[in-house]
Chain A
């Protein structure tokens, strides 16, 4: 069975600064997909970034980038130039194949302060 671990319950960062969220996972699969979702106070789940395990290049989406370390089973998210609108709960998620269930970590609450 796969597990997803987010060890930081809460992170605080000042506007314009950078914050890195950690995520580790456990799997015996060779092909899988990893995601970061954002859940602001509205509770809407918003896809931030995705990474295919077969790709060595780290994914980047504007101010969001990941550090994917397949051997270490680590998938951290870096938020650069943090903005107040980035305040949200961030969930790391694992998907075994290109279909099927997402398994989520417990989440990291990010608070961006002025």
Chain B
């Protein structure tokens, strides 16, 4: 069973460009979470999605950031008009349908975004 896949692993964008980060959850997982890790800091929650639904976006910046998890295909985190402060590692995690004993989040390798 392949793990959580993220691509690209590294992404360089100039200020003002758009960044699209992709996440394919583990097979059978229907819940996707995005986290951001700034240099020398812990991970901060951004958004939690199920197929075609945003469940919790309390950690998303109000502007320029959006996320989706369509019925088919990977989850996408989109950052419009990137600024230097968006430079960070973005991690995606997935979890299976919630049961009493199955709730761990499994993380992808992350996408390192550098804004020049």
The answer, yes or no, to whether B25 is at the interface (CB within 8 Å) is no
> Is B89 a contact partner of A99 (Cβ separation < 8 A)?
no
Interface string of A17-32 (1 = CB under 8 A from B): 0000000000000000
Residue of B nearest to A92 (CB): B42
B contact patch SS? strand
Instruction: Name B's A-contacting residues (CB within 8 A).
Output: 31, 33, 35, 41-45, 48, 55-56, 58-59, 89, 91, 93, 95, 98, 100, 103-107, 109-110, 112
Residue of A nearest to B91 (CB): A45
* Nearest Cβ on chain B to A20's Cβ, whole angstroms: 19
The answer, yes or no, to whether A47 is at the interface (CB within 8 Å) is yes
The answer, yes or no, to whether A62 is at the interface (CB within 8 Å) is no
Known: A44-B109, A99-B103, A101-B33. 10 other contacts (CB 8 A): A35-B104, A45-B107, A45-B110, A47-B104, A98-B100, A98-B103, A100-B56, A101-B58, A101-B59, A102-B45
**Interface set, chain A 89-105, CB cutoff 8 A to B:** 91, 95, 98-105
With an 8 Å Cβ cutoff, the count of chain A residues facing the other chain is 22
Residue of A nearest to B31 (CB): A99
Distance between Cα atoms of A107 and B58 in the complex (Å) = 22
> Is B41 a contact partner of A106 (Cβ separation < 8 A)?
yes
Q: Would you list 25 pairs from A and B whose C-beta atoms are within 8 A, ordered by A residue?
A: A33-B103, A35-B104, A43-B89, A43-B109, A43-B110, A43-B112, A44-B109, A45-B91, A45-B110, A99-B48, A99-B95, A99-B103, A100-B55, A100-B56, A101-B45, A101-B58, A101-B59, A102-B35, A102-B93, A102-B105, A103-B45, A104-B42, A104-B44, A106-B41, A107-B42
